[in-house]
C-alpha cells in the first residue's frame, strides 16, 4: 500500500542509463563534448550503432537526473520518505527502473505513456568525463492531468519539499508550474536544478516563467555560465555574480528568500541568498585523488540528493551543502549514478 506521507516529492524524466566505458571512438565520431549533453530521436544513427557495436560492453543503471537525486535523498532519509513521478512506457525498461527504486527506497507514481518506449540516456565515458546522449521517449509525454489524480494530488499536498530537474522544462513547463505554484501557496520549499547548459540556453522563457516560484536553484559552473549568457549578464564566469543575479530575481513568495547554489566539480561550491546578497558563502570540497575517481556521471544529482535530504531534515544550508558534497564524493567513486552498499553514514 502506497503511503501518502512522503516528505520529498520529485519530478523529472525517468531514464535507463546505458553506460559506455572507454567511449573515445563514439565521442569523436559524433562530435560529442566530453562533458556535454544532447538529445536525439529513436532512429538516431548513434543509438543504432550503440546497439550494433557496443551492446556487450555497456552497463545498465537506473537514471534520469531527478530520479538519481531522489535515490540519493532516500539513501539518507528514513524509509518511505521519497516519491518520484515522471512518464515511462509499459515495458521492461520501466520494470528495471521500478526494481532499482525499490532497492534504493524510492516509491514512484509513474505516468504510463502507452505506445512509447521508456527513455534512455547513453553515458559516453572518457577518462573522468561523461557525455550524455538522451532519447526521451515516454518521458516526453508526461500528462499534466496526472498531478491531479486523487493519489498523486494527495501525495503532493502532504509533501514537505518539492524538486524538479531542469530537463523537465523542455516539455513539461505546465506541470512544473503547477507543482511550483502549489508549493508556493503552501509555503513549502521548491527546488529546481538547471541540469544542463542547454536548458537556460534553449528554454530561457520557460525557466524565467518558473523562477518566481523557485526557492532554491542548483546548477554547476557550466550551467551558470549558460544562464549568464542567455540572460545577458555582464560577467559570465564570475560564479558569485551569477548566483547574486539569480538570487535577486523577483519572487512570488518574498517571505522565503531565494538561494542560488552553484557547484564547481572538485572546486568550491558558491552559495548566495537573497537575504544577504553582499555575503557570498564558499564551501570547499574535500579532494579525492585521481585513483579514487571512477566515474563523474551523476555527481551533480548526488549532490542534489544530499541537499534535498538536508532540507527535509531541517538542516542549515551549510549542513545541506556538506551533505551534498559527501554524496557527490561517494557517487564519483562508483560506476554510474550509484551509491555505496551497504550504506555508509552521511550525517
CA distances from 164 to 11, 62, 226, 345 (A): 5, 17, 19, 26
- Top pLDDT among 60 and 304 is at 304
Residue 37 has pLDDT above 90, yes or no: no
Average confidence (pLDDT) over 107-130? 92
Confidence (pLDDT) at 3: 47
Residue 2 has pLDDT above 80, yes or no: no
Beta strands in the chain (DSSP E): 8-11, 15-20, 37-39, 59-63, 82-85, 87-88, 106-108, 111-112, 119-126, 129-135, 161-165, 190-193, 216-220, 259-264, 267-273, 281-283
CA distances from 17 to 64, 98, 134, 168 (A): 7, 14, 9, 17
CA distances from 200 to 167, 179, 254, 258 (A): 10, 20, 23, 18
Residue-wise pLDDT tens digits, 276-286: 988 899 999 99
How would you class 45 by CB atoms within 10 Å of its CB: exposed for 0-12, middle for 13-18, buried for 19 or more? exposed
Grid cell, residue 29, equals 565520431
Read off the pLDDT band of 1 (50, 70, 90): very low
Confidence (pLDDT) at 4: 54
Confidence (pLDDT) at 199: 96
Read off the pLDDT band of 296 (50, 70, 90): confident
Residue-wise pLDDT tens digits, 209-262: 999 999 999 999 999 999 999 999 988 899 999 999 999 999 999 889 999 999
Confidence (pLDDT) at 242: 97
State the pTM of this model: 0.90
Q: Peptide bond preceding 342: is omega within 30 degrees of 0, i.e. cis?
A: yes
Closest CA to 97 of 84, 116, 79: 84
Q: Which of these is catalytic: 107, 215, 295, 301?
A: 301
Confidence (pLDDT) at 217: 98
Residue 16 has pLDDT above 60, yes or no: yes
Strands 111-112 and 119-126: unpaired
Closest CA to 50 of 28, 22, 24, 18: 18
Beta strands in 64-177 (DSSP E): 82-85, 87-88, 106-108, 111-112, 119-126, 129-135, 161-165
Average pLDDT, the chain: 92
Confidence (pLDDT) at 254: 87
Q: Which of 123-132, 229-238, 264-273 has the lowest mean pLDDT?
A: 123-132
Residue 93 has pLDDT above 50, yes or no: yes
Closest CA to 123 of 205, 63, 201: 63
Strands 161-165 and 190-193: parallel
Confidence (pLDDT) at 285: 95
Grid cell, residue 102, equals 525499490
State yes or no: is 290 an active-site residue: no
Strands 259-264 and 216-220: parallel
Confidence (pLDDT) at 335: 77
- Top pLDDT among 113 and 134 is at 113
Amino acid at each position: 500500500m502506497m503511503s501518502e506521507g512522503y516528505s520529498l516529492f520529485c519530478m523529472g524524466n525517468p531514464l535507463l542509463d546505458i553506460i559506455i566505458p572507454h567511449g573515445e571512438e563514439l565521442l569523436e565520431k559524433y562530435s560529442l563534448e566530453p562533458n556535454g549533453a544532447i538529445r536525439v530521436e529513436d532512429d538516431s544513427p548513434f543509438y543504432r550503432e550503440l546497439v550494433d557495436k557496443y551492446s556487450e560492453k555497456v552497463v545498465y543503471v537506473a537514471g534520469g537526473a531527478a530520479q538519481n537525486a531522489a535515490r540519493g535523498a532516500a539513501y539518507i532519509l528514513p524509509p518511505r520518505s521519497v516519491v518520484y513521478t515522471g512518464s515511462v512506457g509499459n515495458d521492461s525498461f520501466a520494470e528495471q527502473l521500478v526494481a532499482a527504486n525499490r532497492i534504493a527506497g524510492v516509491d514512484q507514481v509513474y505516468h504510463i505513456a502507452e505506445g512509447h518506449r521508456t527513455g534512455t540516456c547513453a553515458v559516453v565515458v572518457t577518462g573522468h568525463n561523461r557525455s550524455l546522449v538522451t532519447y526521451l521517449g515516454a518521458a516526453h509525454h508526461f500528462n499534466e492531468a496526472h498531478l491531479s489524480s486523487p493519489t498523486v494530488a494527495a501525495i503532493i499536498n502532504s509533501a514537505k519539499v518539492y524538486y524538479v530537474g531542469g530537463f523537465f522544462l523542455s516539455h513539461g513547463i505546465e506541470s512544473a508550474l503547477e507543482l511550483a505554484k502549489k508549493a508556493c501557496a503552501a509555503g513549502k520549499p521548491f527546488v529546481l536544478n538547471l541540469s544542463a547548459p542547454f536548458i537556460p540556453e534553449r528554454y530561457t522563457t520557460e525557466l524565467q516563467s518558473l523562477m518566481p516560484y523557485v526557492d532554491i536553484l542548483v546548477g554547476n559552473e557550466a550551467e551558470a555560465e549558460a544562464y549568464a549568457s542567455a540572460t545577458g549578464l555582464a560577467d559570465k564566469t564570475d560564479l558569485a555574480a551569477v548566483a547574486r543575479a539569480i538570487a535577486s530575481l523577483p519572487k512570488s513568495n518574498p517571505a522565503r528568500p531565494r538561494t542560488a547554489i552553484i557547484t564547481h566539480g572538485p572546486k568550491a561550491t558558491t552559495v548566495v541568498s537573497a537575504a544577504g546578497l553582499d555575503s557570498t558563502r564558499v564551501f570547499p570540497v574535500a579532494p579525492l585523488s585521481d585513483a579514487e575517481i571512477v566515474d563523474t556521471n551523476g555527481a551533480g544529482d548526488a549532490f542534489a540528493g544530499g541537499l534535498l535530504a538536508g532540507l527535509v531534515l531541517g538542516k542549515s544550508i551549510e549542513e545541506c551543502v556538506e551533505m551534498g558534497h559527501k554524496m557527490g564524493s561517494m557517487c564519483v567513486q562508483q560506476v554510474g549514478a550509484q551509491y555505496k552498499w551497504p550504506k555508509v553514514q552521511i550525517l
